[in-house]
Chain A
Amino acid sequence: MKTDDLIAALAADTHPGPTVGQRLSRALPGAMILAAVAFALFWGVRPDIAAAMTSPAALKPLVPLALSGLAGALALTLSRPEARGGGPAIALWVLAALLAAAFGAALAGGGLSGLVGALANPSLVTCLTSIPALALPLLAAALWGLSAGAPRRPALAGALGGLAAGSLAAALYALFCDQDAALFVLPAYATAILIVALAGSLLGARTLAW
Chain B
Amino acid sequence: MRAANSGDAAAYRQLLQAITPVLRGVVRARGRALGPEGCEDVLQEVLLAIHLKRQTWREDAPLRPWLYAIARHKTADAFRARGHRIDLPIEDFTDALPAAEGPDPMQASDIEKVLARLEPRAADIVRGFGMRGETVAETAQRLQMTEVTVRVALHRALKAIARLRERMIE
Among the listed A3, A16, A152, which residue makes an inter-chain contact with B44, where contact means beta carbons less than 8 Å apart? A3
- Main SS of the interface on chain A? loop
Contacts of B136 in A (CB 8 A): 12
Closest Cβ–Cβ distance, residue A145 to chain B (whole Å): 12
Measured CA separation A210–B68 after assembly (Å): 15
B154 A9 Cβ-Cβ under 8 A: yes
- Is residue A50 contacting chain B, with contact meaning CB distance below 8 A? no
With A1-B130, A14-B7, A150-B49 as contacts: A9 and B108 at CB distance below 8 Å: no
Measured CA separation A182–B79 after assembly (Å): 49
- Chain B residues touching A, range: 35 or more
User: Which residue of B20, B49, B53, B70 has the most chain A CB atoms within 10 A of its CB atom?
Assistant: B53
A80 B58 Cβ-Cβ under 8 A: yes
Contacts of A80 in B (CB 8 A): 56-58, 61, 66
A8 B56 Cβ-Cβ under 8 A: no
Contacts of A4 in B (CB 8 A): 17, 106
Among the listed B10, B55, B151, which residue makes an inter-chain contact with A19, where contact means beta carbons less than 8 Å apart? B55
Contacts of B155 in A (CB 8 A): 13, 15
Interface residues of B in 74-118 (CB under 8 A from A): 104, 106-108, 111-112, 115
Contacts of A210 in B (CB 8 A): 49, 52-53
A9 B66 Cβ-Cβ under 8 A: no
With A1-B130, A82-B68 as contacts: A152 and B51 at CB distance below 8 Å: no
B residues contacting A by CB (< 8 A) are: 5, 7, 9-10, 12-13, 16-17, 20, 40, 43-44, 47-49, 51-58, 61, 65-66, 68-70, 73, 104, 106-108, 111-112, 115, 126-127, 129-131, 133, 135-136, 151-152, 154-155, 158
A-B contact pairs, 21 of them (CB 8 A): A1-B108, A1-B131, A2-B104, A2-B106, A3-B44, A7-B17, A7-B130, A8-B131, A10-B158, A16-B5, A16-B54, A17-B53, A18-B55, A19-B55, A81-B56, A82-B66, A82-B68, A82-B69, A148-B56, A150-B56, A150-B73
